[in-house]
Amino acid sequence: MRIFIQQLIFGIQLGSLYALIALGYTMVYGVLSLINFAHGDVYMVGAYIGFYACTYWLPFQRISADPHAAVMNIVLAVVVLLLSMLMCGALGVVIERFAYRPLRNGLGITDAHFWGFALSLPVAFHFHLFHKVSDGAGRFLFGIMWFLLIGVIVGYALRPVIRWISLRTVLSPSRLNALITAIGVSLLLENGGWLVFGPNPEFIGTMVPEKNFKILGGVIINSSQLAILVISLILMLILRHIVLHTRTGKAMRAISHDIEAAKMMGINTDKVISVTFAIGGALAGAGGMMVGVLTHVQITPLFGLLPGIKAFVAAVIGGPGNIPGAVLGGIIMGVAEAFVGGSSFSTYRDAIAFTILIIILLVRPAGLLGRNVAEKV
């Protein structure tokens, strides 16, 4: 019984993380019917932001006997969480603006400058202008300056090219194009991660004091696990408030019902889609930061690959586009993984998670909470 409850608690904690990532998948699917495969990599970036903030950017102190240092570190950790959410939200917006929006609305002049910077990245790397953050702030900033300079020049050079392309573009909003672009962005973030963050795994040391709590009959809850659970819950409640009780949330729901009709009602759909990506990115960033800082796992550029896939499965189990469904799906995935992982079949725990997906989809093709909508062909 003790083991059962203990595994259940692990499962819910793991599931709350999957749910955080799954929310981003499901919200984007809701408004755009797009599976944003780059979402798991945003989670990875969140973990790296946590790493750099804890190790280099913020004055974390070694926690020892000094209670002031411990309190100070907790405050700083909250700052890191907000920073990670902010930067990952911004990353989500950038991905949407420059990778997905041109597929819907066609290319504009701003895109020329974005691609200028995007092309400047490999050029700068090829000539070894970039340095890792760990090589020293001066050299790192110098590399960034070169990158910006080349980016601006290439961007202006691209302007006529982009204009030429945009005049000859016939838009055909195809889901497949967007999907392939999403895979491309995901690969770009992963392989770009090898270059920017370096290939060696990083660890975040103990930044926040940890404590084990014993509850009913020997079940142990660790303060870090509790923090992950509570923060995830708070973020989900905030999300619920935004979606149900704000104008933006209402607009989001309207778009997910019918984007064309929403446009005709005067909703600025592009802006709302941007907000959706920002929220999704921020949630993933929070998840990545919490895993990195509170559970001390090794962080690599492929850090988001498996959690991303599992969260995607969670979103599908719950019914894509359905927010409570994503949370439910995440918890199911987490609990299933914990129970299978604790049994003698631990080797097959990923296989069993996907088997659950297949069974649920056989019984309820639209997911647990999804509605079956006949699609006009």
Size of the site for other proteins (CB under 8 A): 69
**Residue among 225, 256, 269, 322 that touches other proteins (CB under 8 A):** 225
**Residue among 342, 356, 364, 366 that touches other proteins (CB under 8 A):** 342
**Residue among 79, 153, 187, 351 that touches other proteins (CB under 8 A):** 187
The whole-angstrom distance between residue 189's C-alpha and the CA centroid of its chain comes to 12
**Residue among 306, 351, 355, 372 that touches other proteins (CB under 8 A):** 306
CB atoms within 10 A of CB 115: 19
**Residue among 295, 324, 356, 366 that touches other proteins (CB under 8 A):** 295
* Residue 258 to residue 252: CA distance in whole angstroms: 10
**Residue among 206, 240, 242, 364 that touches other proteins (CB under 8 A):** 206
Nearest in space to 22 (alpha carbons), one of 325, 312, 332: 312
Three-state SS letters, the chain? CHHHHHHHHHHHHHHHHHHHHHHHHHHHHHHHCCCCCCHHHHHHHHHHHHHHHHHHHCCCCCCCCCHHHHHHHHHHHHHHHHHHHHHHHHHHHHHHHHHHHHHHHCCCHHHHHHHHHHHHHHHHHHCCCCCCHHHCHHHHHHHHHHHHHHHHHHHHHHHHHHHHHHHCCCCCCCHHHHHHHHHHHHHHHHHHHHHHHCCCCECCCCCCCCCEEEEHHHEEEEHHHHHHHHHHHHHHHHHHHHHHHCHHHHHHHHHHHCHHHHHHCCCCHHHHHHHHHHHHHHHHHHHHHHHHHHHCCCECCCCCHHHHHHHHHHHHHHCCCCHHHHHHHHHHHHHHHHHHHHCCCHHHHHHHHHHHHHHHHHHCCCCCCCCCCCCCC
Shorter beta-carbon distance to other proteins: residue 184 or 365: 184
Q: How far is the CB of 302 from other proteins (least distance, A)?
A: 8
**Residue among 192, 193, 281, 325 that touches other proteins (CB under 8 A):** 192
**Residue among 12, 14, 20, 77 that touches other proteins (CB under 8 A):** 14
Is residue 177 involved in binding other proteins (CB under 8 A)? yes
Q: How far is the CB of 294 from other proteins (least distance, A)?
A: 10
Shorter beta-carbon distance to other proteins: residue 106 or 324: 106
Shorter beta-carbon distance to other proteins: residue 278 or 311: 311
Shorter beta-carbon distance to other proteins: residue 103 or 315: 103
Is residue 355 involved in binding other proteins (CB under 8 A)? no
Can you tell me which residue has the tokens 């490999």?
A: 122
* Subset of 111-170 contacting other proteins (CB under 8 A): 115, 118-119, 121-123, 125-126, 165-166, 168-170
CB of 316 within 8 A of CB of 357?
yes
Is residue 41 involved in binding other proteins (CB under 8 A)? no
CB of 241 within 8 A of CB of 25?
no
**Residue among 97, 139, 159, 296 that touches other proteins (CB under 8 A):** 296
Q: How far is the CB of 146 from other proteins (least distance, A)?
A: 15
Exposure of 212 by Cβ count < 10 A (0-12 exposed, 13-18 middle, 19+ buried)? exposed
Q: How far is the CB of 248 from other proteins (least distance, A)?
A: 29
Is residue 36 involved in binding other proteins (CB under 8 A)? no
Q: Draw the binding track, 310-339, toward other proteins (x: CB under 8 A; -: no contact).
A: ---------------------------xxx
Shorter beta-carbon distance to other proteins: residue 278 or 299: 299
Q: Draw the binding track, 95-114, toward other proteins (x: CB under 8 A; -: no contact).
A: -------xx--xx-------
Shorter beta-carbon distance to other proteins: residue 67 or 201: 201
Nearest in space to 276 (alpha carbons), one of 244, 227, 319, 242: 242
Q: Which residues here bind other proteins, judged by CB under 8 A?
A: 2-3, 6-7, 10-11, 14, 102-103, 106-107, 115, 118-119, 121-123, 125-126, 165-166, 168-170, 172, 177, 180-181, 184, 187-188, 191-192, 195, 198-201, 203, 205-206, 210, 212, 214, 220, 222, 224-225, 291, 295-298, 300, 302-303, 306-307, 337-344, 346-347, 349
